[in-house]
Structure 1
Amino acid sequence: MTDQPLLEVENLRIDLLTDGQRLSAVEEVSFTIMRGETFGLVGESGCGKSITALALIGLLRAPLVIGGGRIRLEGKEIQSLSGPEMRKLRGNRISMIFQEPMTALNPLSPVGRQIAEMFVLHKAMGWKEAERHAVQALDNVRVPAPERRMKDYPHQLSGGMRQRVMIAIALACGPGLLLADEPTTALDVTVQAEILDLIRDLSKEQGTSVLMISHDLGLIANMCRRVGVMYAGRLVEQRNADEIFESPSHPYTKGLVASLPLLGSRAKHGRQRLREISGVVPPVSSFPGGCRFHPRCYAATDMCQTTAPAETVLVRGGLVRCHHLESSI
């Protein structure tokens, strides 16, 4: 890694326009990703992780719109780029692995052509040359017999192979930033490990930065150097990954970490029910005032119901939004 950030997100706000109202689905989200770094974004479903990634790559669709803030990629602001300008970046300098490759891939086109299209659009290659590069791209993601697989349609591939094709498309043009949105969803654990190893190895080889989005804390701990924890559209904690899991500061982060099963705990203490955070993430239309986590928080007070906490810089590094941090943290 270098000391220059590849991606800078500053006070990003994403609004939901519905029934004449403008609701804030994501607000005050700020983070940076350094060159060559893998940054994790975690939280329960509905916290705003995926729409944050879609905003970064310019794929938000009505009724969602960027309501404010700045997104800088390699020092250039991209949040206000026109459609054609964004298409030049998308797939070239910033790419995305979507949650479900079966719906992200074109079912009517062979996978080889879908990969080759990246070289035609962004590298101005002819189709013959692009297809040769597509074969190499499939080989890079460890697809066996890539020449034969070039002619396969998505439905002819297994889930793991479809995900490899998605990775080949995303990395075809050597992007500086890869957005990986739940890249191992619906895959068995063996294939999950293979996909994660593949992303890690390719990131190191090509120097690509990665934004890894997941609700799987084990995956994040394994892949990421720094982690941002998101709840109801706000980042509530940002710290180094080892510190997040060893000594979480925000009550929501503590709840997430406490819900993880511990290896050997059953043998030591007998059958134990996993701990859980009471309640659910509220919908955008019902975000509470003050701290949005207060209805589910064991430490909530009257202040939490009326006043949103500001970011607190921790002595050991990192940021937390909570009114009740211990002074020694």
Structure 2
Amino acid sequence: MTTAPLIEVEDLRIDLDGRSSRVAAVEDVSFRIERGETFGLVGESGCGKSITALALIGLLRRPLSVASGAIRFEGREIQSLSAAEQRDLRGDRIAMIFQEPMTALNPVSPVGRQIAEMFVLHKGKSWREANQLAVEALASVRVPAPERRVNDYPHQLSGGMRQRVMIAIALACGPDLLIADEPTTALDVTVQAEIIELMRNLCAERGTAILMISHDLGLVANVCRRVAVMYAGRIVEQRGSDEIFRACAHPYTQGLVDSLPRLGTRAAHGRSRLREIAGVVPAIADFPSGCRFNPRCAQATEICRTTAPETTWLDAGGLVRCHHHA
């Protein structure tokens, strides 16, 4: 008898209701995350990563809605749970670090109270006990002078400190799954490295699985065991992080890898230019027919423009959606 994965997404479709029509913002998305695993979801801005994450914790709001597919947590269908059951699950068993802590945190409430709320709501602690646990939570994410910082408001903290507060809130109840949506956005590289290392260490200590969402393939490949690459609402490749760098199967993934800066590479005259993927991710209402990457793909042929590629399982493990992956 096999053990069910911690969370499993199967053929997920998320629709966007427009004034005169309904379009699929995310389509045919499937992946699974095992207990304690770190899984990456990569793609350019606007490809559907964040709304997929919001669907996992039941935070989609109109005009977005889950149209079909399944999201199962420990074998239970999340969509079938009542609003109260989803609230109990959210924050306790599944937690999320949102993309921009300045807008995710309540500007008129001290950060300590925002952390303490988690212990009151999900663990039944008194406010006195919860406030002490909030101090300990700030200390665990290496916030200096946590006894004083619990009384600070978000605007009194630096970007890095606000992100640490978000991590403290997310990990307060010891969740089984942590969703990190661009957790290092707008932070300088030294703070980025500290935040990522902090997340990895805390989650390793607690056995927490991580869904890391980013547009930075290099960051995700260094942190995650497996990576799914998303383009225009569909997963186009899903493989182990080592295979992603060693042998990309999809032209879009290859474009992401080629755009990464590398030490020791120089072009003529001592200067080199990073490769770029021409064009932009299409708007939801303007997804092209066939393979959605075909207008930007140098390898595109007639079949790419007329027929959407099926999912192909690779001999080395993983999957790809491309007519010419061989």
TM-score normalized by the length of structure 1 = 0.97
Matched to 2:307, the amino acid is T
Deviations for 1:34-70, whole angstroms, at most 9, x for unmatched residues?
1001100001111100110011111111100001100
2:266 is paired with a residue whose SS is helix
- What is the RMSD of the two structures over their aligned residues, measured on CA atoms? 1.3
Measured in 1, the distance between the counterparts of 2:268 and 2:121 equals 58
Code of the residue aligned with 1:155 in structure 2: it is H
Shift of 1:3: 6.1
Q: Which residue of 1 aligns with 2:182?
A: 182
Structure 1 partner of 2:48: 48
* Equivalence for 2:193: 193
Letter in structure 1 aligned against 2:204 = K
Contact 1:4 1:35 in 2 (8 A): no
Distance (whole Å) between structure 1 residues aligned to residue 4 and residue 76 of structure 2: 13
Instruction: Give yes or no for contact 1:102–1:162 (8 Å, CA) kept in 2.
Output: yes
Contact 1:291-1:308 at 8 Å conserved across structures: yes
| C-alpha deviation, 1:205, in angstroms | 0.4
**CA distance in 1 between partners of 2:166 and 2:276 (Å):** 34
Query: Which residue of structure 2 aligns with residue 297 of structure 1?
Result: 297
Displacement of 1:4 after TM fit? 4.4
Q: Distance in 1 between matches of 2:90 and 2:246?
A: 37
2:23 maps to which residue? 23
Q: What's 1:65 paired with?
A: 65
Q: Which residue of 2 aligns with 1:287?
A: 287
How far is 1:82 from its partner?
2.5
Point out where structure 2 has 5 or more consecutive residues left out of the alignment: none
- Name the SS of the counterpart of 1:16 in structure 2: strand
1:203 — aligned with what?
A: 203
Name the structure 2 match of 1:136.
136
- Counterpart Cα distance in 2 of 1:270 and 1:5: 50
What is the CA distance between 1:267 and its match in structure 2?
Answer: 7.5
Q: Does 1:168 align with 2:168?
A: yes
Instruction: Name the amino acid aligned to 2:146.
Output: P
Unaligned runs of 5+ in 1: none
Q: Which residue matches 2:36?
A: 36
Kindly, what percent of the aligned residue pairs are identical?
73
2:223 equivalent in structure 1 = 223
State the AA in 1 paired with 2:273. R
- Look up the SS of the partner of 1:87 in the other structure: helix
Counterpart code for 1:189: V
Query: Partner amino acid for 1:56?
Result: L
2:90 maps to what in 1?
Answer: 90
Distance in 1, matches of 2:3 and 2:245, equals: 25
Q: Specify the code of the residue in structure 2 equivalent to 1:318.
A: G
The 3 A distance-change label for structure 1 pair 101 and 231 is: same
Count of residue pairs the alignment pairs up: 325
